[in-house]
Amino acid sequence: MIQEGLLCKELEVLEVRPIPGSPVAHLFLEPLNLPFTPGQFVMLRPKLWEYDPLWPRPFSICDLNSEYLQIFFQVVGKGTNLLLALRPGDKVTCWGPLGQGFPVADRALLLCGGMGIAPFIALCKQHPHPERLKLLFGHRLPLEVYPWQDISDKVEKRASRQESEEELLLFEEELRESIWQYAGKGKIFACGPHPFLKVVHKYLVESKAQGYLSLENRMACGVGACLGCVARTRQGLVQTCTKGPVFKAEELEL
């Protein structure tokens, strides 16, 4: 039950790489010397933070190798603005990898919305047969701001940008078709904003596909104690941080 070797570690910032003209950035930290499953996350709290922001922040692992831990994040508030202001050499307290990642899948359809691309970067890099993966990416910002090139061309990947209501409806239709076509052929993984997940969830349940969703609920502790990040499941309200963030679609009530 108890995971060994987690502890809180002080990691040095290697680089903060903002994407010019966009609200997104990459944070590179010293690596954690621990195995991880794509879909798992880490909690980060820069040493400079005293009481405000109070909480650490959860981030999906975009990549973790012997050289760095990579986080792909969007600047949305005070916490992420302060992350953007970090400089090489600054220390960040980190604990993880935490939670349940995506299960092993020989073949999978990966559905990502916006920042939800993050865990799939690692998944595609780690997969022994990327040619057996299919990825559909819906995004609002220009494709260049996302780490799209980090996904091997061996993956059957397709990106589509939505800037209007009509385009969103078209993308919804595309999601529906992809899910119905893929149901029964392999696992379907999804990560993205709540409205996106709601749509995906609906079609996963309808098509009885073997689907898994990664939720991004607000968290305080990240270790299952505060009970703030709960998601509604068939088992009642459960912690997203420890029972998730990846849940079986049929378990979730979104």
Partner 1 sequence: MSVDLRVNLSSLNLKNPLLSASGTFGYGLEFAPYGDLKTLGGIIVKGISLKPREGNPPPRIVETPCGMLNAIGLQNIGVEKFLEEKLPLLPEETPVIVNMYAQSGEEFVELARILDKAEKVAALELNISCPNVKKGGVLFGQNPLLAAELTRAVKKVVSKPVMVKLSPNVTDIKEIALAVEEAGADVISLINTLGGMAVDIYRRKPCLKNVFGGLSGPAIKPVALKMVYEVCRVVSVPVVGIGGISKVEDVLEFMLVGASAVQVGTANFMRPDTLFRLVEELPLKMKKLGIKSFQEWIGKLEV
Say which residue the tokens 């299960």 belong to.
Answer: 103
Nearer to partner 1, 143 or 227 (CB): 227
Could you tell me the smallest distance in angstroms from the CB atom of residue 223 to partner 1? 5
Q: Which of 31, 103, 186, 224 binds partner 1 (CB under 8 A)?
A: 224
Stretch that binds partner 1, among 134-142, 152-160, 162-170, 222-230 (CB under 8 A): 222-230
Nearer to partner 1, 55 or 148 (CB): 55
Q: What whole-number distance in Å separates Cα of residue 101 and Cα of residue 181?
A: 24
DSSP of the chain: -PPTT---EEEEEEEEEE-TTSSEEEEEEPPPSS---BTBEEEEEETT-SSSS-S-EEEE-SEE-SS-EEEEEE--SHHHHHHHT--TT-EEEEEEEESB-PPP-SSEEEEEEGGGGHHHHHHHHH-S-GGGEEEEEEESS-GGGS-GGGS-TTSEEEEEE--SHHHHHHHHHHHHHHHHHHTTTSEEEEES-HHHHHHHHHHHHHHT-EEEEE-----SSSSSSS--S-EEETTEEE-HHHH-BEEEGGGB--
Could you tell me the smallest distance in angstroms from the CB atom of residue 162 to partner 1? 22
The site map against partner 1 for 27-56 (x = CB under 8 A) is: ------------------x-----xxxxxx
CB atoms within 10 A of CB 111: 30
Could you tell me the smallest distance in angstroms from the CB atom of residue 53 to partner 1? 6
Q: Does 11 bind partner 1 (CB under 8 A)?
A: no
* Distances 245 to 37, 78, 175, 223, 232 between C-alpha atoms, Å: 12, 23, 21, 12, 12
Q: Does 217 bind partner 1 (CB under 8 A)?
A: yes
Could you tell me the smallest distance in angstroms from the CB atom of residue 84 to partner 1? 18
Nearer to partner 1, 154 or 198 (CB): 198
The site map against partner 1 for 56-95 (x = CB under 8 A) is: x------------------------------------x-x
The site map against partner 1 for 226-245 (x = CB under 8 A) is: xxxxxxx---xx----x---
- Within 127-186, which residues bind partner 1 (CB under 8 A)? none
Nearer to partner 1, 92 or 133 (CB): 92
Nearer to partner 1, 101 or 138 (CB): 101
Which stretches of the chain bind partner 1, using CB under 8 A? Answer: 1-8, 45, 51-56, 93, 95, 217-218, 220-232, 236-237, 242
